[in-house]
Structure 1
Amino acid sequence: MWHKKIKPIMLAALLGFAGSSSAGLEQGIEAANSGQFEVALKEFRYLADMNYAPGIYQLAKMYQGGYGVTKNLTKAASLFQDAIKLGSADAMFSLAVMYDDGKGVKQDKNKAIDLFERAANKNLAAAQFNLGVMYANGDGVIQSYHRAMDWYEKAAANNYTLAQFNLALMYYQGLGTDKNIEKSYIWNLIAEYNGNNDASKSRDLDEQQMSPSQVEVATDIANDIYNRIQQGTYAPEVRPKKRSYTF
C-alpha cells in the first residue's frame, strides 16, 4: 500500500517552530496548543506586522483552520503568499496544497508543482515527498518513476518515513530503478525504525526472498544509513540518469 500525498495538519502545524529564536512565536505556539487562541492571535498578528515570515505563516494557519477566527481560506492563501515573499518554505508547501486541492484558490496544478518544487529545493521533506507521489502517479506532471525516485530519496535522506517506505516499494517493484529486494529491505527496515507498521510487514515479505547472509548484510547497511541520517551526514546515492535519444 503506497503512502499518498500528505497535507499540513492544522493545529499540529502550529507546533512546528518550537526551535525558533522568536520568544513571541514560541509563546503564540504554546498558547495555540493550549487552546488560548486569542493570545496566540495577538502574538502572531504582532509578528506579522513586524514582517516576520514564521509569524505570518502561523497566522495563516489560524485562518485556514478557523482557530479563534472565522475560517477564511482566501485570507489564509493571501497570508501564505506574504510569507512566501519572505522565503517561507512552509508557506510554499501549504499554498501548494491549496492549489493542488482548489481550496481557497482556483485549482492550478502548475502552481502547485512550482510551489512544491520551491519548498523542496529549500530541503522541506514533506514537499519532496509530495513531488515523489505526484511524479509516480502522473498527477499534474508527466509520469516519471525516475523523478519520483529522486524526490523520494531526498525526502528519505531527511528521515521522512513515508518517503522511506515508498522508496522501498519502488525498489521492490523495480519502478524508476532496477528491482532490488535487498534495497527494499534496507529502506523498509529504516522506515520500520521510525515506527512505520506497513514497512514492517513489507520487510517481512522481503526477508522471505532473501538468504540469512543477505539479511545480515542488508541490516548492517540499513543501520549505517539510519545512523548517518540521524547525524545529518547521509546523502542519497547518485543514480545514472536515463539516456534520451534523438533520431
Structure 2
Amino acid sequence: MARIVFSLLSLLCFCATAVAADDQRCRTFYDNQQTREALHHCLPLAAQGDGEASFILSSLYSQGFEGGSSDLKQALKWLTRSAEQGYAPGCYNLAALYDRGEVVPQDMAAAFRWYLEGAKLDHLASQLQTGLFYLKGKGVEQDYVQAHHWLAIAANRGDQRAQVTLATLLKATKPAESVKLFQRAAQSGNSYAYYQLALLFREPPAGISMNLNQALEYALESEKLGYQPAVDLVESIKQQQVLEEAHRVALAALTEAELTGVESSPAPAVETVIAEPVTPVDDVQAEDLASQTVPKESNQQSGPDEPSVETVASAASSATNDAQTETEAQKEVQTEVSLAERESTEVVVANSAVAPVEKRTVTPKTPAVKPLGDSSANTHSAATEANVDLAGLRDFTWLMAQPRQHYVLQLAQLSSDESVNAYLRDNKLQGRVNFFKAVTAAGNKYVVLYAESATSLQGAKQIAATELPKKLSGMVWFRTYHAIQNAYKPVD
C-alpha cells in the first residue's frame, strides 16, 4: 500500500513539474513573440483552467498570428474565460471593455462587477477603478464608504490618482490627512499635488496653520514641474507676502506708539490678496479632476513576468489614447471644478473694503463685431453694432498689447457663442467687456474680461464693487494682464 501511495505522489509531482514547464514555455514563447509556439503551449493550459494562459491567448488572438488579422471574437472569449478563472488582469481588461463599450456593448454594471472582482484579487488598477465607480455611482449605487475604502487601499499602495482623489475629498473634513496624501503624491512628482498643497498652506482650513513660505515653495515646485496655473499662484502668494509684511510692520508701529504714549494716526488697513480661485469640489468631480492630473497606468500591476494588462487590440489602442490625453491634461488642469461642465467663472471672493479712486484704463473704442451667433463672429468686422461700443470679441494680438502690470477683472470662461451671449445679456454687460477665444485647461473657451482695468489691485476691486452687478462683484478673479498673457494660448 505504501508503495502505491508513493508511486501516486511521484506521479503527481511529475505532472506538476510538467505543467510548470509547459506554463513557462507558454509564457516564454509569448514574451519572445513566437506566436504559433505560444498558441501551441498555452492552449492546453487554458483548457485546464489556467487564467494566465487564457489571458495570453486573448492577447494572441487580438494581435493576430505572425502578421495575420486579429480575431476579436476569440480574443473576447479567452479574455472572459481568463476573468472567470480568477486571473486579476483578465478581470481588469474585461471590465475596461465593458466600461468603454469596445468589442462589447457598454455595460457599466458588468464593468463594475469585473473591476470589483479584480480588486478582491488584489489588482491595484482594479482597486482604483472600484473606488471611482463607487464614488460616482457608475454601475453600482453610490457609496462613499466603499469609495473611501477602495481608494484608500489604492492610495496606500502608491497609486497617484487614488492619492489625489482621496486627498481632494478629505480637504474639508480631514485636512491633515488630505495634506499627507497630497504630500505622498507630490513626492512622486505630481505637479497638481504640489499646487494643492500650496493652496492649503496659503488659505488653510481649520487644523492647519498658514505658512506662506511653505505655500510658495510648493507653488514654485508645481511651476517647475510644468503645471501652468502655478504661475499665477506664485505671483499671488508673493503679493500676499508683501501685504502680510506691511500689515505686520503697521501693527508693530502702532504698538510701539501706544507704548511710548505718542499719538499717531491709525495704522493703515492692509488687505490680504486672494487672487487665486478656490471653488468647492463635490465628491464626483474630485475623481474627474484626479483623472485629469495623473496619467492612467492600465498595467500598474504588470511586472516583468506579466503581459500588458490591455490584451484586446482595440482596448490597447484606446488605453494609449487615454494616457496621452491625460498626460496633456496634467499640464493644464486649472481648478478643482470642471469648467467644461459648469461653464462658469473661476471665482475668488472680493474683499468688501474699497480703496480711494484711482486712474483706470478703458479699452479704446474700436469697430465692433457681429454678435457671436453670426457665422463670422470669430473675425473682426468693419461693420458696427449699436449695442456694442466699448468692447467685444478680441484676438491675441489685442491681448498681448495690453499693459502687462494692469489689473483686470476676469469674469468667466464660457464654452460657446450662445453661452457668451446669454452671460452678457443676463448680467447686462453688453459693450462692457472684452472676450477672446483661447486654449484653456478645460479646452477651447471664451475668456471674458471687464473692459476697465486699473493700475493696482485696490483700483480693480473698486471697479468690481461700483460697476459690476451685485451678484458678480463677489465673484471676480483679479489678475494682471501679464498673468493672463502667460496663462492662455491662442486657438489655432
The equivalent of 1:189 in structure 2 is: 183
- 2:91 touches 2:117 (CA, 8 Å); kept in 1? yes
Q: Cα deviation per residue 1:81-118 (whole Å; 9 max; x = unaligned)?
A: 22123220110111111122222223222222111111
Q: Cα deviation per residue 1:183-224 (whole Å; 9 max; x = unaligned)?
A: 1110111112233222222222223223279x8xxxxxxxxx
Q: Give the TM-score, by structure 1 length.
A: 0.64
Q: Which moved more, 1:122-131 or 1:133-142?
A: 133-142
- 1:57 touches 1:83 (CA, 8 Å); kept in 2? yes
* Equivalent position amino acid for 2:138 in 1: D
| Counterparts of 2:63 and 2:196, CA distance in 1 | 35
Output aligned runs, 1:1-247, within 5 Å. 23-24=24-25, 27-28=28-29, 30-31=31-32, 37=33, 39-40=34-35, 42-43=37-38, 45-51=40-46, 52-64=50-62, 68-172=67-171, 174=172, 179-208=173-202, 209=204, 210-211=208-209
DSSP-derived class of the 1:96 partner: helix
DSSP-derived class of the 2:135 partner: helix
- 1:185 touches 1:207 (CA, 8 Å); kept in 2? no
5+ residue gaps, structure 2, are 1-19, 215-492
- Alpha carbons of 1:41 and 1:132: their partners in 2 closer, same or farther (altered >3 Å)? farther
- Alpha carbons of 1:146 and 1:69: their partners in 2 closer, same or farther (altered >3 Å)? farther
The equivalent of 2:367 in structure 1 is: none
Structure 1 consecutive aligned stretches of length 4 or more whose deviation exceeds 4 Å: 65-69
Deviation for aligned residue 1:69: 4.4
- 1:44 touches 1:56 (CA, 8 Å); kept in 2? no
* Equivalent position amino acid for 1:59 in 2: L
- Alpha carbons of 1:207 and 1:71: their partners in 2 closer, same or farther (altered >3 Å)? farther
Deviation for aligned residue 1:55: 2.7
Deviation for aligned residue 1:158: 2.2
Q: Which moved more, 1:65-74 or 1:98-107?
A: 65-74
Higher Rg of the two aligned structures: 2
DSSP-derived class of the 1:153 partner: helix
- Alpha carbons of 1:118 and 1:202: their partners in 2 closer, same or farther (altered >3 Å)? same
5+ residue gaps, structure 1, are 1-19, 32-36, 216-247
Please state which structure has a larger fraction of its residues in strand.
2
TM-align CA RMSD: 2.7
- 1:25 touches 1:44 (CA, 8 Å); kept in 2? yes
